[in-house]
Structure 1
Amino acid sequence: MATWSDVRDAALALPEVAERPGQETLQWRVRDKGFVWERPLRKADLAALGDTAPDGPVLAAWVPDLGAKEALLADDAGVYFTTPHFDGYPIVLVRLAEIDAGELAELVTEAWLARAPKRLARQYLDGPPDEVD
């Protein structure tokens, strides 16, 4: 079971991330582009989801593309879901209480990679330069 503290830790471990409190929600941004955020369900979401609507905290996360979104939704519907509001967008919703911390960290990193500038993402993926003795 993941918590907002786990989201915060995973997001802030990435380069150039800032935590910004929204009007009433948390969000994490890389160079002013949001990549994961707290997403309370709205009336329309609840109506669309019906009995399957989660009653716990919900995280929204960017994914690389719509194919990745569909794969996550098909792979684990107990964790990942969407609403009509996000149709056509590479964003998944996550039942925070149902995802483990390791999978959450991977999701947050993938969301960051999807939104970070290409050069920054490449530097992160390449890792620090090797030291020469």
Structure 2
Amino acid sequence: MSRPRPATLADIEEAALALPEVVREPETGGRPAFSVRGKAFAFARGPRKDAYDPRTGEPYDDVLVFRCTAEDKEAMVGDPDSPWFTTPHWNGYDAVLLLERDLGRLTAEELREVVTDAWLQRAPRRLAKEWLARAGDHPSR
């Protein structure tokens, strides 16, 4: 039996662009943001003082943000072994953070599920419903 493949940045892009009406900004290169009808669901964030390395005090320069439900956020950041986290800035927002350097702690399939769930949170209801009907029920639903 083969081991699941660790997730990579390319997996985020592949999963996001496989979903309907997704736009990548910038179109090529750079740290991407993915949106559906103008609503971002997964993006790379620049350094900010609210997310920093507790050992050095330096702001993280590799933070990734994914939209999610409040329940998923609680479960994802509540697990002490999880790579997912949040900061006070994100209190009240249905989103989780992940350091790019921790992508390999997830499998490609786990990351694909998170990206799909993020899209489902931001896509218009009708578009999401149509996609789910075509794709079969999403595993996390």
User: CA offset at residue 44 of structure 1?
Assistant: 2.9
The 1:56/1:101 distance shift into structure 2, 3 A limit, reads: farther
**Equivalent residue number for residue 41 of structure 2:** 35
Aligned length: 124
Matched, 1:119 2:126: yes
Q: Which runs of 4+ in 1 moved over 6 A?
A: none
Query: Normalized against structure 1, the TM-score is what?
Result: 0.81
**Equivalent residue number for residue 138 of structure 2:** none
User: CA offset at residue 55 of structure 1?
Assistant: 5.8
Q: Give matches, 1:1-133, under 5 Å.
A: 1-21=6-26, 25-46=31-52, 50-51=54-55, 57-64=62-69, 66-75=70-79, 77-96=81-100, 97=103, 98-127=105-134
User: CA offset at residue 100 of structure 1?
Assistant: 1.7
CA-atom RMSD, angstroms? 2.5
Query: Normalized against structure 2, the TM-score is what?
Result: 0.76
User: CA offset at residue 77 of structure 1?
Assistant: 4.3
Specify every segment of 5 or more residues in structure 2 that has no aligned partner in the other structure, as ranges.
1-5, 136-141
Distance 2:25 2:13 in 1: 11
Distance 2:55 2:47 in 1: 13
Specify every segment of 5 or more residues in structure 1 that has no aligned partner in the other structure, as ranges.
129-133
Give the number of the structure whose residues are more often helix, by fraction: 1
Distance 1:45 1:73 in 2: 14
